[in-house]
Amino acid sequence: MQASPKLARTLSEIRDGWIPAAIYSDPDVFEQERRSLFTRTWQFVAHESELPQNGDYVVRNVLNDSFIVARGDDGVVRAFLNLCRHRGGQVCRTESGNTRRFVCPYHAWSYKTDGTLVGVPYHEEAYGSEAELRKADFGLHAPPRIDLFNGLIFVNLDPAARPLADCLGGFATYLEFYFPAPPRRVELRGPQRWRFKANWKIPAENFSGDAYHTPHTHASTGQIRLVSSAATTNRRAGIIYAIDGGSGATFRLDAGDFAERLRSVGYTDDRIAVLDRSLSPALRSLIEKDGVIPSAGTFFPNFSMLHLWARIDDHGKLAPFTTVRLWQPISATETEILSWFVADADASEEFKENSYKAYLMCFGTSGMFEQDDMDAWVTLTRATQGYLSSSVLLNSRMGLKSDGSALHGPVQTFSGPGVAHLGFNEFNQRRWLRMWADYLEMSPPAPPLPEPHPEVGRPKE
Amino acid sequence: MSPQEAGERPILPFDHPMHLAAHRFLVREAHAQDRHDFETWLTMMAPDVVYQAPVTATTGAGSHKAGEMDHFAEDLYSLRMRVARLKSNLAWSENPPSRTRHFIANVCTCATAKPDEVRVWSAILVFRTQGDGSPDVISGMRDDVLRQVGDELFLVRRMVSLDEAVLRTKNLAIFL
């Protein structure tokens, strides 16, 4: 399917950094995203730490597809559609818990936590028993693809999707700052879930590298000294980077060696020792040599992470924290946020609690940073819905001269992989939107459903 | 947790002086919140206040997983910081400020093991609108502990059980 002429023009303008305002509220654009983008990108559903025991499950959506992510009796984590193979009832109506069976409330077909059908009431009378209806053929549908990265569980609705590791590419180096490789482990706490009337792309772009909004949007946090100056007023000294499936920003740290720099954002000596042992050479050099530390990042399209620190008491004690979030679209103009707090599993309880307090003060539903982001994003979405306003071309050309050449070249000495730029610019947001435009030009993949997934199987002939 | 679940002492009669004092406290607090007089509101907090709103999750065992994740888990320091932010004129989320109305109902109280503290349960419905925006409604139950010092009551602990698993308000830049 060819993109419509209107969409083709939109995408061409986007590639030049001129953003038709309509993309942040137009239902037709959302429909195209639903069909062409969310059907073939890796979608975060859960983290392994949310499912510590066999039988633990969470229910997560990819747009309107509800998936159960469960740890089976064999300890394996799987995902399957929350849809009874008989008449389509939701076999799980809670959002998390521990169970031995998922039982459809309609006719009571029941499934094990590995998705296999184990109970069909009146099997013999109603269907003529196993010879006529083989239970093995009617397990819950698996999503076409499921893949993991350091405990993060993603699904993909496209059977032909490239592996998750390929899609992450070099971004994995940065993602490991937030989600380190074994033997380190993180635990997720949450999520907080809330809905706000804004398009999902706005936060995804913002986390991909918008350092420019911080001094103004988050001015109040500097005023009350919630954070040190590195996090707000000195943002122009940070470096943004982009590679393969993701991009992000960093904060500039004060002068000092590796340990001093980490201490300056609230890391305790025991945590610094762990980071000293475990950080990859690139991440270590980022802190030690380049003098920056990762802040926000987005793995295309809608999975974002953030690292920051805050003063958590009257004595000025600093605590760093990490959060990860999913920007889950509800419609063109509404998004549900799932926001988790992330802690190193082996950190002391005191460190975790301090870190958690810093998170709640800064991000999430009540966070003093996030509150103001929400407000800007809601007004943007509302403002773009007019007949006239929807046709305005928004300027996303920061860091470019009028002839399209870069105002400043990339940072040559950056320790991390990918292309890096210093200070305020919109290289990452333009890159994110170009990736978005590439997907929107693709025809929707043939839906793998209602054809049953081969691993689950239809009745044998 | 409801009074019955808490297994506390009997509910005080509705004309009991302590019940009336607690009810007056809640009304005075709601008025302060709704006129954005957060400095007065802060003076109603005990120095060791714990102000918490756990995330409501629909689980098999019930609808709460208290203690795992919160919307708020505040002490006096963080409440003061939030109020200072609101007064900074740079808190865009509340500029212009939300118009809120805290409706308080179903108030009941009981004595606690501490002679100077009373436990108070109440239902709250918070109506919130900003500019021309469509209103948000937040519904929940408060489980409070108030402490009497001299003639005054102070909030020692508030646990707000929200009725929604997914909040339908853009942020909690307001207090519950």
Which residues in chain A have their CB less than 8 angstroms from residue B57's CB?
Answer: 95-96
Which residues in chain B have their CB less than 8 angstroms from residue A195's CB?
Answer: 166-168
- Residue in A192, A223, A374 closest to B93 by CB: A374
- With a CB cutoff of 8 Å and minimum separation 6, the contacts of A183 are none
Which residues in chain A have their CB less than 8 angstroms from residue B162's CB?
Answer: none
Question: Do strands B45-54 and B152-162 pair parallel, antiparallel, or not at all (unpaired)?
Answer: parallel
Q: Are residues A102 and A199 in the same domain?
A: no
Q: Is the dihedral of CA B57, B60, B63, B68 positive or negative?
A: negative
The pLDDT tens digits of the residues spanning A255-265 come to 999 999 999 99
The burial of A145, by beta-carbon neighbours within 10 Å (0-12 exposed, 13-18 middle, 19 or more buried), is given as buried
CATH of the domain at A403: 3.90.380.10
Min mean pLDDT across A14-18, A166-170, B102-106, B141-145 is at: A14-18
At CA B113, angle to CA B70 and CA B154, rounded to 5?
55
Mean pLDDT of all residues in chain A?
Answer: 93
Instruction: Give the residue with greater pLDDT, A178 vs A459.
Output: A178
Our count of domains for chain A comes to 2
Which residues in chain A have their CB less than 8 angstroms from residue B168's CB?
Answer: 194-195
Query: Which domain, by its residues, includes A359?
Result: 166-441
Which residues in chain B have their CB less than 8 angstroms from residue A357's CB?
Answer: 73, 78
- Does a structural domain hold residue A85? yes
- Does a structural domain hold residue B142? yes
Q: Are residues A198 and A138 in the same domain?
A: no
The pLDDT tens digits of the residues spanning A427-439 come to 999 999 999 999 9
Neighbours of A166 (CB within 10 A): 11
Q: Are residues A380 and A436 in the same domain?
A: yes
- Does a structural domain hold residue A5? no
Question: Residue A230: what pLDDT?
Answer: 60
Neighbours of B143 (CB within 10 A): 20
- Residue in A97, A364, A372 closest to B61 by CB: A97
**Yes or no, beta carbons of B172 and A196 under 8 Å apart:** no
- Asked whether A324 and A248 are in contact (CB, 8 A), the reply is no
Calpha distance A193→A199 (Å, rounded)? 16
The pLDDT tens digits of the residues spanning A130-146 come to 889 999 999 999 999 99
Q: Are residues A133 and A171 in the same domain?
A: no
CATH of the domain at A128: 2.102.10.10
Q: Is B168 on the interface with A (CB under 8 A)?
A: yes
Nearest to A69 by CA among A89, A44, A88: A44
DSSP letter, residue A34: I
**Structure confidence at residue A458 as a pLDDT band (50, 70, 90):** very low
- Does a structural domain hold residue A273? yes
Alpha carbon A246 to its chain's center: 10
- Does a structural domain hold residue B175? no
Q: Are residues A366 and A326 in the same domain?
A: yes
Q: Is B68 on the interface with A (CB under 8 A)?
A: yes
CATH of the domain at B116: 3.10.450.50
Q: Are residues A247 and A327 in the same domain?
A: yes
Calpha distance B30→A81 (Å, rounded)? 45
- Asked whether B44 and B155 are in contact (CB, 8 A), the reply is yes
Question: Residue A107: what pLDDT?
Answer: 96
Structure-block tokens of residue A356: 């958690």
The pLDDT tens digits of the residues spanning B122-145 come to 999 999 999 888 899 999 999 999
Alpha carbon A235 to its chain's center: 23
Question: Do strands A393-395 and A56-62 pair parallel, antiparallel, or not at all (unpaired)?
Answer: unpaired
Mean pLDDT per 10-residue section of chain B, whose length is 176 residues: 66 96 98 98 98 91 65 98 95 94 97 95 97 93 98 97 95 96
Q: Report the Cα–Cα distance between both ends of chain B, in Å, rounded.
A: 17
Find the residue in B nearest to A335 (Cα).
Answer: B170
Q: Are residues A130 and A170 in the same domain?
A: no
- Does a structural domain hold residue A27? no
Q: Is the dihedral of CA A187, A191, A192, A196 positive or negative?
A: positive
- Does a structural domain hold residue A180? yes
Work out how many CB contacts closer than 8 A connect A with B: 114
Q: Which residues pair with B146 in a beta bridge?
A: B118, B155
Which residues in chain B have their CB less than 8 angstroms from residue A59's CB?
Answer: none
* Mutant choice from B59, B65, B166, B175 vs A, greatest count of A C-beta within 10 A: B166
Backbone angles phi, psi at A140, to 5 degrees: -65, 145
The pLDDT tens digits of the residues spanning A222-260 come to 889 998 766 666 888 899 999 999 999 999 999 999 999
- Asked whether A336 and A173 are in contact (CB, 8 A), the reply is no
- Residue in A194, A197, A374 closest to B166 by CB: A194
Residue range A375-387: average pLDDT?
A: 94
- Does a structural domain hold residue B62? yes
Q: Is B81 on the interface with A (CB under 8 A)?
A: yes
Q: Are residues A238 and A370 in the same domain?
A: yes
Find the residue in A nearest to B75 (Cα).
Answer: A313
- Does a structural domain hold residue B171? no
The pLDDT tens digits of the residues spanning A270-283 come to 999 999 999 999 99
**Yes or no, beta carbons of A197 and B90 under 8 Å apart:** no
Helix or strand run (H / E) with residue A98: strand A96-98
- Does a structural domain hold residue B7? yes
Nearest to A423 by CA among A245, A265, A260, A214: A214
- Does a structural domain hold residue A32? no
Would the pLDDT of A182 be above 60? yes
- H helix intervals, A219-348: 219-223, 258-263, 269-278, 281-285
Q: Is A458 on the interface with B (CB under 8 A)?
A: no
**Yes or no, beta carbons of B171 and A366 under 8 Å apart:** yes
- Does a structural domain hold residue A28? no
- Does a structural domain hold residue A254? yes
Query: Which domain, by its residues, includes B50?
Result: 3-162
Our count of domains for chain B comes to 1
Would the pLDDT of A443 be above 90? no
- H helix intervals, A158-235: 164-168, 171-178, 201-209, 214-217, 219-223
**Yes or no, beta carbons of B85 and A370 under 8 Å apart:** no
Q: Is A55 on the interface with B (CB under 8 A)?
A: no
**Yes or no, beta carbons of A95 and B71 under 8 Å apart:** no
Q: Are residues A178 and A141 in the same domain?
A: no
- Residue in B59, B167, B173 closest to A371 by CB: B173
- Does a structural domain hold residue B66? yes
Q: Which residues pair with A310 in a beta bridge?
A: A319
Question: Residue A4: what pLDDT?
Answer: 80
- DSSP letters, A125-149, are III-HHHHS-GGG-PPPPPSEEEEE
- Residue in A217, A219, A361 closest to B78 by CB: A361
- Asked whether A248 and A269 are in contact (CB, 8 A), the reply is no
Question: Residue A215: what pLDDT?
Answer: 87
Q: Are residues A144 and A190 in the same domain?
A: no
Q: Is B92 on the interface with A (CB under 8 A)?
A: yes
- Asked whether A55 and A98 are in contact (CB, 8 A), the reply is yes
**Yes or no, beta carbons of A195 and B167 under 8 Å apart:** yes
Question: Residue A229: what pLDDT?
Answer: 63
